[in-house]
A and B are shown apart, each in its own frame.
Chain A
Amino acid sequence: MHLLRTDSGADGRDFRPAVSEQIPVGLTAPSMDHLDQLEAQSIYIFREAFARLKKIALLWSLGKDSNVMIWLARKAFFGKMPFPALHVDTGKKFPEMYRFRDHYGKEWELDLRVEPCPPIDAVDPTLPPAARSAARKTEGLKMALAKYGFDGLIAGIRRDEEATRAKERVFSPRGLEGNWDVRDQPPEFWDHFNASPPQGAHLRIHPILHWTEADIWAYTKRENIPIIPLYLSKDGKRYRSLGDQDITNPVNSTASTIDEILIELEQTKVPERAGRALDHETEDAFERLRVAGYL
């Protein structure tokens, strides 16, 4: 396992993998396991996005999913991600997350763009409190879009996270206002993606849409991808999903290694986003957010 510990300061090098992966030699091609298949599919999506869109960026939330995405992008492009990593910063993340960003933004040679969110007063007051707080991020995202003129944003959402996200496409068009029209999504099949957003609109690209929470952890372990230690159990609690400090709660867990997390996931029936307040405020809060452009 490869961690950026809080006590290691800015230097996480103590925890780098000791041995590089052994590459098998043989006459017949080694068969692909489940993670190999997921990886190959994601790389394909990354390369399609890079080939077909003019100006893209990867949304880096600093969480386990977007770290896996960056790893996949580096695989797709042989070491260095050839487009910016965009962190839309609410200013309310955990200190461990900021340390992680500053350290790995450098180590991974990311073209890191940190963009702020507007004050909470500027956000739809009819939303419940947590959703309103999350909607700030949507506003921040819109501002970043306007600033850079990206025509594609790569986002680390997964189908298994939440019912609304299960309806997503890999290349998902957003309207001029960044909104998502769930009822009028273009057909997408055979890995052919609709990559022509109308003038001024943009696409969301979802390279890990087909992954599950357990896949993310199994791959993080296999590839030795660094994680924020908040995911691991401390005093009987850990974070399964990381958002803003004030609207994210830890779950009860004794899993203090990735192996233990995987065993826990095999057994648990508690949804991943159980600790995210905004999912539970009203039945349709999450969908309303997504239609407005939330991830």
Chain B
Amino acid sequence: MNMIVTPSSSATPNGTTRPQVRIVIVGHVDHGKSTLVGRLLHETGSLPDGKLEMLKAVSARRGMPFEWSFLLDALQTERDQGITIDTTQIRFRTNSRDIVLIDAPGHAEFLRNMITGASQADGAVLIIDALEGVRDQTRRHGYLLHLLGVKQVAVVVNKMDRVDFSADRFKEISDEISAHLNGLGVTPTAVIPISARDGDGVAERTDRIRWYKGPTVVEALDQLEPARPLEALALRLPVQAIYKFDDRRIVAGRIESGSLTAGDEIVIMPAGKIAKIKTVESWPATPVEGRQGAGRSVGITLDRELFIERGDIIAHAGTAPRETRRLRARIFWLHDKPLAKGDQLLVRCGPKESRATVVAIEKAVDPGELSSSENKAIGRNHVGEIDISLSNPIATDPYTENPRTGRLVIEVSGRIAGGGLVLSVDAGQRAVPVDIVPVESALRPDERSARYQHNGAVVWLTGLPASGKSTLAKALERRLFTNGGSPILLDGDTLRAGLNSDLGFSATDRSENIRRLAEVATHLARNGHIAIVAAVSPAREDRATARRIADTAFREVHVATPAEVCEERDPKGHYKKARAGALASFTGIGNDYERPEAAELVIDTSKRTVAEAADEIEQMLKTSGVLFDEVVDLAANI
């Protein structure tokens, strides 16, 4: 026996590390998976003292013969049902590998758990009963392994004792499964005759299988290759969060592939903004010098202030992922309700999430049958290929180019309902901005502040149509200008005539409209101007986006004129048209305006004059540090 076993991991006192390979054991229920695992553990002495004796005693107490599978079925419930419920991770060592073994159940009900387990596997052992041969579930599991990208599959033909260790029967099964796997593009690394119950072929080539010349199960496991190095691929750092716990603005995430270091030129997708990495932050010692590679959870700071949000992907310019609103994926489905064309979903690609619609179902396959079904829906535990349309653009890679970023999960009602691999993306909505180099202004913000007597800001007026936003915005603009400031009015309707003329009034287009307004306004604010935005902006989420973009420069003013007053005013005649049904998607007469919960200021224009309202805004801008009082010490604001 060539196996060294410890009950724990490779964290040894001398700190040696060995390649770790994660293995899943799959196959038809009752073909002996748990028995094989129990046998492997026993043969290699990896069981805790007394465990075997205890289980034997339990079996005797219940009047049942001892089974090797009891070792894994330590749960009371499992013994009651006679099947394994869920994956259990077990560790042991072969000559050159640390193996993490995931015992996978074979019962059809628990297929989703098998997928959960198999998804973490670098290799697989597919088990087949020598008496029963290749069954539906054998084929299904083989297909799922292929689907999940597990290429290294060792086949064991178990219960050889029940076919008198017949070399002919072994060859028959070996040929059938090899042909099946080859058809899926998977070449078995070995096909091994064993008796898990008696131990033949597990760690030893016994006399009873002397006709067999290949590796034992242990030897086959020792030959499995660990996953290929992700560091060799292009940089992908999906952003998990932006932290501002102190004066640092840290972009945090885990490097999924490639590597980075301070000074790297990066591009932030999908927006395509460019920046340089200023520092790589850490704790307790910081900053960190040198390159950080795939797998590290890092925090970086950038050389300029950019709007970045959770889900963005940081890459190197030139090797950025593609941005898309449309992709094709090969998925497995785990939800009770079949997935059909037109279904609304939530797609997660790393930390990025987007609402999505199933545009087309190209294939729907029952993995046991391996035939495409006629009905264009993907049933539970079935697989398929689908086209998805995303409401927010995401940056992703085909899984063949990047196994980490090229996969996604699908959520239904807040619960993971399926997963899949990105086959292709509809690229090209935006060229990857390799040649864009933002030019910094020649002026410093404090030079402008000194002249205008104010800092840059975004004053965001939100409220129902005809609530008085534009009137108020114009009054404020005049007031600030008269005082020597530099206000600029950005009216929603005015911008729709030009910059945003390609946008309609769908929820998606409205969001994009707000995003553009916020980006333009923020640019102005960064350059010392006070951008006054007047826009209905009914969606709370969109306004939250605007606040994130403008960050500390954002001042939200809710123009909270009562709805009936707005409708009575109706200077543009919109309410009248909407009541007549001639204006679809009009905010105001429905309940689709989401009131701000924490605006810097709330103003009801039905209760005060325009001048009074402008006074209030001016006061708010003073108290919140945008406008300087006459006596202000300028240096203190620099």
Interface residues of A (CB under 8 A from B): 20-21, 23-37, 39-41, 43-44, 47-48, 50-51, 74-80, 82, 159-160, 163-164, 166-167, 182-183, 185-190, 192, 194, 196, 210, 212-215, 217-219, 259, 262-263, 265-266, 269-271, 283-284, 287
Contact = CB atoms under 8 A, between A and B. Distances in A.
Max chain A Cβ within 10 angstroms of own Cβ: one of B243, B286, B292: B243
6 contacts: A23-B282, A27-B290, A29-B259, A43-B254, A75-B282, A167-B87
Contact of B9 (A20, A44, A196, A212): A212
Nearest to B148: A189
Contacts of B483: none
Nearest to A261: B13
B8 A188 contact: no
Given A187-B113, A215-B11, A182 B409 contact: no
B299 interface: yes
Interface string B93-134: 000000000000000000011011001100000000000000
B297 A192 contact: no
B6 to A, nearest CB: 6
Interface in B386-440: 407, 409, 414-416, 419
Can you list the 7 inter-chain pairs with the closest CB atoms, starting with the nearest?
Answer: A29-B293, A196-B414, A163-B74, A43-B297, A29-B291, A218-B11, A189-B119
Contact of B10 (A34, A47, A82, A259): A34
A272 to B, nearest CB: 9
Contacts of A36: 295-296
A269 B15 CA distance: 21
A261 to B, nearest CB: 9
Contacts of A190: 119, 407, 409, 419
Interface of B: 6-13, 15, 17, 20, 47-49, 58, 74-77, 85-89, 91, 112-113, 115-116, 119-120, 231, 240-241, 243, 245-246, 248, 250, 252-254, 259, 281-286, 288-297, 299, 310, 334, 348, 351, 407, 409, 414-416, 419
B89 A194 contact: no
Given A23-B288, A189-B116, A269 B48 contact: yes
B240 A51 contact: yes
Nearest to A209: B89
A110 to B, nearest CB: 15
Given A47-B297, A194-B416, A78 B245 contact: yes
Nearest to B261: A29
A40 B75 contact: no
A196 B412 CA distance: 11
Contacts of B415: 186, 194, 196
A214 B254 contact: no
B290 A51 contact: no
A213 B296 contact: no
Given A166-B88, A270-B49, A284-B76, A187 B297 contact: no
Contacts of B47: 269
A166 B240 CA distance: 27
A93 to B, nearest CB: 27
A214 B9 contact: yes
Given A34-B9, A194-B416, 6 more contacts: A33-B15, A36-B296, A37-B295, A51-B241, A76-B297, A214-B9
A27 B290 CA distance: 6
A78 B414 contact: no
A259 B14 CA distance: 9
Contacts of A80: 245
B285 A21 contact: yes
Given A29-B231, A167-B88, A287-B76, A23 B290 contact: yes
Contact of B115 (A21, A35, A187): A187
A194 B413 CA distance: 10
A30 B289 CA distance: 11
A189 B419 contact: yes
A253 B250 CA distance: 45
Given A23-B288, A80-B245, A287-B76, A35 B416 contact: no
Given A40-B254, A212-B91, A283-B76, A269 B290 contact: no
A192 B348 contact: yes
Contacts of B259: 28-29
B89 A79 contact: no
Nearest to A270: B49
A30 B293 CA distance: 7
A283 B11 contact: no
Contact of A78 (B20, B86, B283, B407): B283
A143 to B, nearest CB: 27
A184 to B, nearest CB: 11
Contacts of B241: 47, 50-51
A164 B74 CA distance: 8
A196 B348 CA distance: 14
A40 B295 CA distance: 7
A189 B284 contact: no
A219 to B, nearest CB: 8
A64 B253 CA distance: 26
A143 B586 CA distance: 48
B283 A25 contact: no
A154 to B, nearest CB: 16
Contacts of B281: 78
Contacts of A41: 297
A20 B115 CA distance: 43
A100 B112 CA distance: 43
Contacts of A51: 240-241, 310, 351
Given A51-B241, A163-B75, A265 B254 contact: no
